[in-house]
Chain A
Amino acid sequence: MNNLLILLKKEFTLELRRKSVISGIGLYLFSLVFICYLTFNLRLNAINAATWSALFWLVILFSAVNTVAKSFIGEKPGAWVYLYMTAGAHEIIISRIIYNFILCLLLALVGYGLFVLFIDNPVADQGVFLAGLALTCLGFSASLSLISGIAAKARNSHVVMAVLSFPVMIGILLMAIRITKNALDGLEASASRDEMLNLLGINVISGALSYLLFPYIWRS
């Protein structure tokens, strides 16, 4: 437990020290939103709710994959050895999942803010939307952390990362889009309960699998 906190603290300190990485991701997100804004060329409410949610989730998906990918890809070999000697595999994967979750959530909230600013805010039920957002981010970090660990070992790891993660993400995204649709239409919260529970179930499964399987990746 103590180790976990130390590891988390280490992640944040490192992140804040390498400001170029985090600002790079922020800029990536901003460019994506801006491209959406320019290509659709609006602010005239001409965009319908379905298009809004599709664009929003595409932007979040791409930035999340890029953010989590860097959690193992691009790590120096020395850092691997150091971590291997100082911490257990389970502690590392849990700290990475928590850290990536916080990062993804931050990214998604900023993305939402940018969408509201540039495009539109058709969300009728903020509570459901934000709860769905948080659950989705947890799902992204639970499954992408492990996959990034796998992809880090491969040649041209960024391509492999994208190929490996997209099929696994589809289930999470489908649920997220359905929750978003309910939130956009302003349905009552109980209408999205099934989807929320499903998403939670997916998160639990992928989190547990990451926890169980990570030691095998770690060993090399």
Chain B
Amino acid sequence: MKLWMKVTAVVLLVYTHTAGLLFDVPRLPILNETIRALYFHVPMWFGMILLYGMSIYYAIRYLRNPLEEYDIRSVEFAHVGTAFGILGMLTGMLWARYTWGAFWHGDPKQNGAAITLLVYLAYFVLRGSLENQEQRARLSAVYNLFAFAAMIPLIFIIPRMQSSMHPGSGGNPGFNAYDLDASMRIVFYPAVAGWFLIGYWIATLRVRVRKLLLIDTAS
């Protein structure tokens, strides 16, 4: 990871936290000040999907060319993606408590997110129960690809078929309703980029640690 990317990540997140908490936001009924969750909750899901995407990318590369390096990258991106998913879930639950009245509301989007996390937790269980390193790498890459391609599209399709109270679906004010509001866009897009870069940074650090441990055990 280049230095400028790290600097950008830090600058963007400092900007997100100050501007996200201080700038003016539109007054919408029910949402009120919780609309600021857009800068912290939504980027978690964007980040999760992008990080899982990176994990898939390295899973494919591993299957085409089985180098341990790709396997390590694949699993570490999945780790950080899951951490983002859990943070997204927690921030969403907190938000739901104050707008919907309960931490767990049973909204289709909440259920879909829970299923995604289950898939990746199953992926870690699978890795834990395979002993041979090569076999673990190959089989978990296969499951990663299968589950992502078979499940993740569903999570975007099924909630759209049901009525949901989540902003952005079922006629609730969502991202499109903010389109007119340029003041939110100038915080939201940098926030997404900043959070993703931080996730990417964490993942690359973890990959480096894993590689050092590998050299350590080999010598």
Please list the residues of chain A having a beta carbon within 8 angstroms of any beta carbon in chain B.
Answer: 143, 146-147, 150-151, 153-156, 159-160, 163-164, 166-168, 170-171, 174, 194, 198, 202, 205-206, 209-210, 213, 216-217, 219-220
Contacts and interface: CB of A to CB of B under 8 A. Distances in A.
B65 interface: no
Interface of B: 63, 115, 118-119, 122, 125-126, 129-131, 134-135, 138-139, 141-143, 145-147, 149-151, 153-154, 157-158, 161
A72 B138 CA distance: 17
A155 B122 CA distance: 14
Contacts of B139: 150, 153-154, 217
20 contacts: A146-B146, A147-B143, A147-B146, A150-B126, A150-B139, A153-B135, A154-B130, A154-B139, A164-B122, A164-B125, A164-B143, A171-B154, A194-B161, A198-B157, A202-B154, A205-B149, A209-B146, A209-B150, A213-B146, A216-B138
Contacts of B129: 154-156, 159-160
Contact of A168 (B135, B138, B141, B147): B147
Contacts of A170: 115
Nearest to B154: A171
A156 B161 CA distance: 38
Contacts of B125: 160, 163-164
A166 B119 CA distance: 9
A170 B145 CA distance: 17
A171 B134 CA distance: 31
Task: Specify the main secondary structure of chain B where it touches its partner.
Answer: helix
Chain A interface, DSSP helix/strand/loop, else mixed: helix
A183 to B, nearest CB: 18
A160 B122 CA distance: 8
Contacts of A216: 63, 138, 141-142
B21 to A, nearest CB: 36
Given A164-B122, A168-B150, A220 B143 contact: no
Nearest to B111: A170
A213 B138 CA distance: 10
A167 B118 contact: yes
A121 B208 CA distance: 60
B190 to A, nearest CB: 33
Nearest to B141: A216
A41 to B, nearest CB: 29
A209 B119 contact: no
Contacts of B119: 167-168
A167 B158 contact: no
A134 to B, nearest CB: 19
Contacts of A150: 126, 139, 142-143
Nearest to B118: A167
A143 B150 contact: yes
B142 A206 contact: no
A203 to B, nearest CB: 10
A160 B126 contact: yes
B146 A155 contact: no
Nearest to A162: B122
B151 A167 contact: yes
Given A150-B142, A163-B122, A202-B154, 9 more contacts: A153-B130, A154-B139, A163-B126, A164-B122, A167-B122, A205-B149, A209-B149, A216-B63, A220-B138
Nearest to A139: B150
A167 B157 contact: no
Contact of A217 (B115, B126, B142): B142
